[in-house]
Each structure stands twice: as C-alpha cells, then as structure tokens.
Amino acid sequence: MAIAELNRAMSDVARDEQAAALRRCHETGAPMPALRRAFPDATIDDAYAIQAANTAWWERQGRRVVGAKIGLTARSVQRQLGVDQPDFGHLFADMEVEDGAVVPAGQLIQPKVEAEIAFVLDRPVDTARLTAAELIGCVAHVLPAIEIVDSRIASWDIGIVDTVADNASSGLFVLGTRPVPLAAVDLRLCGMVLERNGDQVSFGAGAACLGNPLHALAWLARRMAALGRPLNEGDVVLAGALGPMVAVEPGDFVEARIEGFDPVRVSFAENTKS
C-alpha cells in the first residue's frame, strides 16, 4: 500500500509535532504523555507515518538501519491492545549492545527485557513467492537475542498507536555470538528461560511467537515489502518475545537461555547519581 493511500486521521502538522516530541524524549530522557490521549482518533497508519518520519530523520543524521524488530507476537498482548496482527520497528546499528556488555546508566528511560530469536538474512526475501521454503532459503543463520525494550510514553501507558509511533517501543538489542544453522534448532519447540540476578523470571518457547518465529518473519517480509522497504541481505530481524517481558533496574544482570543456543547476557550499570 502506498504511503499516500494510508488511512489517517491526524493532520500533517500534528504528525510532525508528535514525531518531534518523540525525538525530544530520546534526547532528554524525559517521557511524554500518550499520543492516543491527545489524538483519540489517531489510526495505526498515522502511527506508522510518525515512525517513518523519525526513521527518515535519523537516517539523515547518519544513523544506519540494520534490520527490524517484530512486536505484539503474543495473541494475548494483541487482544490487550485491540489488534489482530503484530507491529514492527526499525533496528539501527547504534542500538546493538555487545553480548555481556553493560548498558550505561541513564541511557534508557524505563527499560524491560525480552528473550527472542534473531534471524540474519542471507539474501532478500522474494515476497512474490513467499513460502516456507523461500523463507528458509533466505536465512543465513539464527542467533539468541535479548531485546531491551523502552518506551518514551510515561509509565508505559501505551496502546497500539503509541507503541507503533514510538518505533515499536524499541530500545537496544543484544545478539549472541555463535551462529546456529536454521536446521539445527526447532524454532517452535525450543524452550526459553530468562534470569534476572540469578532468579528465573520469564519462561516460554518458540511457539509463543505467532506459533513459530518463522511465521513472524513471513509477516514482516510482506509488511516491509508493501511499504517499499523490503528485507535485504544482512538484515537482522528480532522475531518477537518467547515469553513475558520483565522490567529491569540499575545494577541488574540478565541472562537468556534458549534451547539450542549459547546463553546471551547483558548488565545494567548502577545509577551513581546521589
């Protein structure tokens, strides 16, 4: 669907103002009120237009898109937000945190973590012949990942319009460093345990992600192609949470273990401000 054909309720000025407000949140670390409360008639297409405006703005500033993330892959969360499909946001190169690294204090506003499967693509996805075989042939390898989600909306008071406009509540992401061939792991049945400071705080499996993370990848491939930004060789795709997301605080250490993969870890620096 062409951008001009999208169903929007907000004016161009209003969308530009909300895009700028979200950028200010990134710069200042201060959250903003929910967009949907100021614009109750705003549509998902309005939200994607705001997201696209900020993606283009950041690219002009030199940031580089390296892939995409899929959100709302759990049916229960879709029902909670009143939608019947996932959403997506863009991954920028400067959002990646090395496996085992420490996220500096104050870099995020209100972070939470999720364990996910990450696909790394070997070639562009041909959506005109999108079958399971086509998808599998496009995947170079898979990696374990921790997505560190964040929200520029105060108190995580989000609906679908808020999270989409906010680049699908993107924050940072951590990728494992040992690639695994797609054929070596059962994406649907692989179990996941997420630990925070040694306590098991989230459990799940690949089936929690639209029944299979490959289904999420197929949805994203179609959606991105329709918007004129098809998935390409080398893109990283975070396929969606395998279990409930968990809030983190300064000083926390997080480890995700997904069956068939090495563990992936990240820490959050202590807040040294008095």
**pTM of the shown model:** 0.94
pLDDT tens for 255-267 read: 999 999 999 999 9
Q: In this predicted structure, what is the pLDDT of residue 204?
A: 94
Instruction: Report the SS3 class of residue 51.
Output: helix
Q: To the nearest whole number, what is the mean pLDDT of the chain?
A: 93
Instruction: Report the pLDDT value the prediction gives residue 5, as an integer from 0 to 100.
Output: 43
Question: Strand 172-175 vs strand 96-97: parallel, antiparallel, or unpaired?
Answer: parallel
Task: Summarize pLDDT for 82-104 with one digit per residue, the tens.
Answer: 777 899 999 999 999 999 999 99
Does residue 3 carry a pLDDT above 60? Answer: no
* pLDDT value at residue 66: 98
pLDDT the model gives residue 157: 94
- Per-residue pLDDT of 154-210, as tens digits, reads 999 999 999 999 999 999 999 999 999 999 999 999 999 999 999 999 999 999 999
Phi/psi zone of residue 141: left (φ > 0), alpha (ψ -120 to 50 degrees), beta?
A: beta
Give the distance from CA 75 to its chain's centroid.
16
Q: Are 232 and 195 in contact (CB under 8 A)?
A: no
pLDDT above 90 as % of the chain = 89
Residue 30 has pLDDT above 80, yes or no: yes
Distances (CA, A) of 68 to 64, 99, 148, 236, 251: 12, 19, 14, 6, 28
pLDDT at position 91: 98
Rounded Cα–Cα distance for residues 216 and 125 (Å): 13
Catalogue all structural domains in the chain, each as residue range(s) with its CATH number. 65-268 (3.90.850.10)
Q: Are 130 and 222 contacting, i.e. CB atoms less than 8 angstroms apart? A: yes
What pLDDT does residue 7 have?
Answer: 64
Q: Which amino acid, residue 259?
A: E
For the segment 116-149, what is each residue's pLDDT rounded down to a tens digit? 999 999 999 999 999 999 999 999 999 999 999 9
Element spanning 97, H or E? strand 96-97
Tell the residue number behind the tokens 């197929």, with chain if given.
218
SS3 string, 153-218, reads EHHHCCCHHHHHHCHHHCCEEEECCCCECHHHCCCCCCEEEEEECCEEEEEEEHHHCCCCHHHHHH
Which residue in the block uniquely carries the two structure tokens 């329709």?
A: 226
177-181: long-range pairs with CB below 8 Å, 24+ = 177/99, 177/143, 177/262, 178/143, 178/261, 178/262, 179/120, 179/140, 179/141, 179/142, 179/143, 180/141, 180/142, 180/143, 180/260, 180/261, 181/141, 181/142
pLDDT at 77 over 80: no
